[in-house]
Amino acid sequence: MPRLAPHVATVPGSGIRRVTELAWATPGAIVLSVGEPDLPTPAHVLAAATDALARDDTRYSANAGIAPLREALGARLAQRFGLDVPARRVWVTAGGSQALHLALSLTVAAGDEVLVPDPGYPPFVMATHLVQGRPVPYALRAADGFLPDPDRIERLVTDRTRVLVLNTPSNPLGTVLPEALTAELVDLARRHDLWVLADECYEAFTFDRPHVPAARFDEERVLTLHTFSKTWAMTGLRVGALVVPDAVLPVMASVQEAIVSCVNTPAQHGAVAALLGPQDEVEAAARTYRAHRDLAAGLLDAHGVPYLHADGGIYLWADVSDRTGGDVDAWARRLVAEHGVAVAPGSAFGAEGEGWVRISLTATADDLRTGLSRLAGA
């Protein structure tokens, strides 16, 4: 039998998925381990996608996506953040995951290094391995409020470093980068001639600190990930976007064609409706997640479980190191088996996550109450 490409074996499995699948197979288990919105997809989004199906608008779109969607996303970024993003720089992707793969495919050659946050979203590491790059974690530490330290990051830069990954609001931490720190990190990338890959997929959900896009400080080296999955509860429709600098445009069509050709056309029409239609449900989702953050924080406070205050996003990061015995992954699996609640083990997000867990705020209030009471008693 022919062998697989050796680099494929270096792609790590998902510690989040292992715990979640165990919970799905456990009757009565409460799942607080995945960021699946417990809210309906807005009716006008479903109607737009259904209308496209009904009129048989099911053919290929341009590689970059349908023009109304690209224009509408650019207009949203201008309205919310004052960015000048013409439609030509917006490329529609099959969710944020494909946007990440596309961005790394554009910027990373075999053996190149990618600076990734630790703790950080696991696919930053997984996708880097998949393009034969080398992920280099930069530590986010409790003593610093889990915010990046530019000096420590700069010491990791070598002549093979090509990309600095930033994530704000953070999955799994709930941190939101302050404006001055974002500017400093982009300046670091400029000094070392690095690309910046900015995952800003949770920008609609900030509570105590405003979201500041990395592209505000250098739009010619920043590639930005966006997704419709969480903002409009469209996880299964698989629509996202990558906003790229003009310098990348000459190769975009051929790279996108090689990976996905184009995104599901009816889903793209649903995404247009999401951007141009009423935003009441997005605002309601933001209020819900903020209320769930406060509920979860109050429950953890009552039980004496430390946690990181979440400024944004849809997760709460909690310290359970006093009960895990140095192996939070094994503890999380026992939590499912013995107490019927699943949380994501912090070690799934990097070595710095040992002793911590990520709690999803997208669950119902009742599930949060019951699940966190079980966690506190474990």
pLDDT tens for each residue of 248-285: 999 999 999 999 999 999 999 999 999 999 999 999 99
pLDDT confidence band for 13 (50 / 70 / 90): confident
Q: Does position 308 have pLDDT exceeding 90, yes or no?
A: yes
Sign of torsion, CA 172 177 182 188? negative
Helices and strands of the chain, counted as H and E runs: 13, 13
- Between CA 82 and CA 64 the distance in angstroms is 23
Q: Does position 378 have pLDDT exceeding 90, yes or no?
A: no
Task: Give the pairing of strands 30-31 and 341-342.
Answer: parallel
- Between CA 252 and CA 260 the distance in angstroms is 12
Contacts of 344 (CB under 8 A, 6+ apart): 15, 16, 19, 20, 33, 34, 172, 332, 357, 358, 359, 360
- Between CA 286 and CA 231 the distance in angstroms is 9
CB atoms within 10 A of CB 255: 15
Backbone torsions φ then ψ of 225, nearest 5 degrees: -90, 135
**Segment 146-162, tens digit of pLDDT:** 999 999 999 999 999 99
- Between CA 378 and CA 370 the distance in angstroms is 13
Please give the model's pTM, rounded to 2 decimal places: 0.96
Mean local confidence (pLDDT), 217-227: 97
Domain positions in the chain: 6-41+280-377, 50-276
Domain covering 6-41+280-377: architecture: Alpha-Beta Complex (3.90)
Q: Does position 38 have pLDDT exceeding 90, yes or no?
A: no
Closest by alpha carbon to 215, among 27, 310, 82?
82
Residue with structure tokens 């400080």?
Answer: 217
Tokens of 175: 């941190």
Whole-number mean pLDDT of the chain?
Answer: 97
Q: Does position 72 have pLDDT exceeding 90, yes or no?
A: yes
Helix boundaries (H) for the chain: 15-24, 43-54, 67-81, 95-107, 123-130, 150-154, 179-191, 249-259, 265-276, 280-303, 321-324, 328-339, 365-377
The domain defined by 50-276 carries CATH number 3.30.40.10: no
**Segment 351-376, tens digit of pLDDT:** 999 999 999 999 999 999 999 999 99
Which strands form 113-118's sheet, in the order they lie side by side? Answer: 90-93, 240-243, 222-227, 195-199, 161-167, 113-118, 134-139
User: In this prediction, what percent of the chain has a pLDDT beyond 90?
Assistant: 96
Tokens of 74: 């650019």
Q: Do domains 6-41+280-377 and 50-276 have the same CATH topology?
A: no
Closest by alpha carbon to 130, among 100, 155, 157, 154?
100
